[in-house]
Amino acid sequence: DAGVIQSPRHEVTEMGQEVTLRCKLISGHNSLFWYRQTMMRGLELLIYFNNNVPIDDSGMPEDRFSAKMPNASFSTLKIQPSEPRDSAVYFCASSLITQGAGEQYFGPGTRLTVT
C-alpha cells in the first residue's frame, strides 16, 4: 500500500515565480494537512482539509499561499509569488478521522528553495 506521495521532492525557483506543490493521500483517508518546517519556526500547520473541505486555514501565512483539494485524494499548495523566506520543507500528512484525532502519516516532503 503506497504511503503519502509528494511532488516534487526538491524545487529551486527564483523569487517572484509561482510554485505548486502536490500531495496524494493514502487511499481511504479523509483528511489532509499541509505543514511547513523551518529551523526558526519548527513544524507549523498551514491548513487542513476534512472530506475535501478546508477546516482551518489560520496557519496560511498570507494571501500568496493557497491550497486546494479538487478531489478526495489529491491536493495542491500554491505560492504566488514566491519569496526567499518561503524556503522550507513542506510536508503533507494524511489521516483517517473517524472520531476525534487520528494518526497522521507524513509524506516525504518537498524541499523548496527560493533564491
Nearer to other proteins, 54 or 81 (CB): 54
Which residue in the block uniquely carries the three cell numbers 511532488?
7
Residue 109 contacts other proteins per CB under 8 A: yes
In the range 6-65, which residues lie near other proteins by CB under 8 A?
A: 31, 33, 42-43, 45, 48, 50, 55-56
Segment near other proteins (CB under 8 A), from 14-22, 64-72, 75-83, 93-101? 93-101
Spatial distance between the Cα atoms of 95 and 81, rounded to a whole number of angstroms: 30
Residue 69 contacts other proteins per CB under 8 A: no
Query: How is residue 86 annotated by DSSP?
Result: G
**How open is the CA angle 74-75-81, to the nearest 5 degrees?**
150
Nearer to other proteins, 10 or 85 (CB): 10
φ, ψ dihedrals at 86, nearest 5°: -80, -5
Spatial distance between the Cα atoms of 104 and 83, rounded to a whole number of angstroms: 29
Q: Which residues bind other proteins (CB under 8 A)?
A: 31, 33, 42-43, 45, 48, 50, 55-56, 91, 95, 97, 100-109
